[in-house]
């Protein structure tokens, strides 16, 4: 996991970090992670290859676009729904 920029394990099932490569997503799956949450806005990057990598590794992939300048209540609610779900 050290190869993922700014990777930090928050607890046994949650970690944060920079954008992983598809290869790193496979390593996350092997390490027991169940999902990837992409917080980037649609204008920042096409994440299709990350979503495919997650699905191929047996993980779920969630898009929760968050504006760093003005995060919306809807984005915060969606993020909390995903991170509070213990099956993810």
pTM of the model: 0.85
Q: How far is CA 34 from CA 12, 18, 44, 54, 55, in A?
A: 12, 17, 24, 9, 10
pLDDT digits (tens, 9 = 90+) for 2-60: 799 999 999 888 899 999 999 999 999 999 999 999 998 877 877 888 999 999 999 99
């Amino acid at each position: 996991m050290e190869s993922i920029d700014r990777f930090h394990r928050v607890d046994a099932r949650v970690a944060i970090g920079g954008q992983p490569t598809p290869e790193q997503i496979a390593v996350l799956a092997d390490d027991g992670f169940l999902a990837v949450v992409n917080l980037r806005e649609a204008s920042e990057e096409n994440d299709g290859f990350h979503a495919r990598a997650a699905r191929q590794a047996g993980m779920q992939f969630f898009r929760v676009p968050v504006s760093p300048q003005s995060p919306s209540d809807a984005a915060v609610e969606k993020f909390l729904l995903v991170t509070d779900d213990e099956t993810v």
